[in-house]
Amino acid sequence: MKKKVLSLLMAMSLAVGILCGCGQTENAQNAQENNQQTEQTENEPDVEEDVQTEVVQDESESGQEDVLEKDDDVVVRVGSLKGPTSIGLVKLWKDAEEGKTDTEYEFSMSTAADEILPLMIKGDLDIALVPANAAANLYQKSEGAIAVLDINTLGVLYMISGDSSISTMEDLKGKTIYLTGKGTTPDLALQYLLASHDIKEKDVTIEYKSEAAEVAAALSQNTDLVGLLPMPFVIAACSQNEKLQIVLDVNALWEEKNDQNGLVTGVTIVRKAFLEEHPDCVDAFLEDHKNSASYVNENVKEAAELVVENGIVEKTPVAEKAIPKCNITCITGEEMKEMLSAYLEILEGQDASFIGGKVPDDDFYVIRP
């Protein structure tokens, strides 16, 4: 009996041991699986984090696209003077109006440089076509905030009168000369030529007017007066009064005194901040400006119609006669720098105040690749 009880107890103990062993094995397996899952979870990338990363990247790329689109939509604001500088732009005006340019433009035309220069300083204009000495002055006043892109016009000045006895500078003694504002290109050229021919200011009477049209009006009332005017106003004045004629070519007189170095009348300036932000727009303008100037010189009749259409002069025949004498051009790069710096050095020698005190530094000239 005791043997049977002992055998039963041993069997039960063995069964319990087997069951406990199975339980420990299962628990160990479960623990191992849990550990593997934990390790797998830690090593796998976070799907939600990936989605957020992709969203951030998409937003960043979208932002870059927006910047590009915004740059593409830049409107280049260009100001010019009523006269030769604007004549060189008329084809570009037309093309921009008809949507034929890759760049969008906004053009404005003024009668005096004093109207344009403050707009450049304030940032209301990006590019402007102004007298060369005015550009140098603005460079100094703005502490180098503007630079020159090209020369847009060379000599355009002529003296007209009904007095046929005038054929040399010396013949101007005792005469009254009408011209536009003091310190403008006509004034600088006159002062230089008077001094270089030993003619004192007391030997002539100089009357300043605000616009070329006022000079022409004064000459129409008294043809014995002398008017110093740029094209196309020379032709306009002479067409209104047949007694008036060109008596002196100021451009030729200037070259005689300066080893054939021409009179640089107009230059194109740009705000350096705009150039840094939108170099492609500036390059596009230079190409468009060059093409427009070439068109005007090569298609005088068609260009004359555009000149009248834009209100630069009133009659097409006047514009047609004037364009070949306007010396419209688009000189860039090292050639521009050489010509302009030589001209400014002459003005500095005459009166440094004409160019803001001194010849500008090298950063005044934009040399595009």
What does the pLDDT look like over 235-268, one tens digit per residue?
888 988 889 999 999 999 998 888 767 789 999 9
Q: Is there a single domain that holds both residue 141 and residue 170? A: no
Q: What is the pLDDT of residue 18?
A: 39
pLDDT digits (tens, 9 = 90+) for 57-93: 444 444 444 433 435 689 999 999 998 999 999 999 9
pLDDT digits (tens, 9 = 90+) for 91-131: 999 999 999 999 999 999 998 888 999 999 999 999 999 99
**DSSP one-letter code for 170:** G
Report how many domains make up the chain. Answer: 2
Say if 166 falls within a structural domain: yes
Q: Is there a single domain that holds both residue 230 and residue 270? A: no
The CATH number covering residue 279 comes to 3.40.190.10
Q: What is the pLDDT of residue 260?
A: 64
How far is the CA of 183 from the CAs of 74, 226, 298, in angstroms? 35, 19, 33
Q: What is the pLDDT of residue 71?
A: 54
Q: Is there a single domain that holds both residue 191 and residue 338? A: no
As a residue count, the chain comes to: 369
Q: Is there a single domain that holds both residue 206 and residue 349? A: no
- Whole domain around residue 95: which residue ranges? 69-154+264-364
In angstroms, the CA 103 to CA 127 distance is 14
Say what the alpha-carbon torsion angle 142, 289, 304, 218 is, to the nearest 10 degrees: 10
Q: Is there a single domain that holds both residue 293 and residue 233? A: no
Q: Is there a single domain that holds both residue 360 and residue 268? A: yes
Domain termination site, one of 200, 233, 257: 257
Q: Is there a single domain that holds both residue 146 and residue 90? A: yes
Say if 1 falls within a structural domain: no
Q: Is there a single domain that holds both residue 178 and residue 234? A: yes
The residues of the chain scoring below 50 in pLDDT are: 1-70
| Range list of β-strands (E), 99-222 | 104-110, 127-131, 146-153, 157-161, 176-180, 205-209
Say if 347 falls within a structural domain: yes
Q: Is there a single domain that holds both residue 142 and residue 271? A: yes
Q: Is there a single domain that holds both residue 177 and residue 135? A: no
Q: Is there a single domain that holds both residue 81 and residue 138? A: yes
Say if 47 falls within a structural domain: no
Q: What is the pLDDT of residue 213?
A: 82
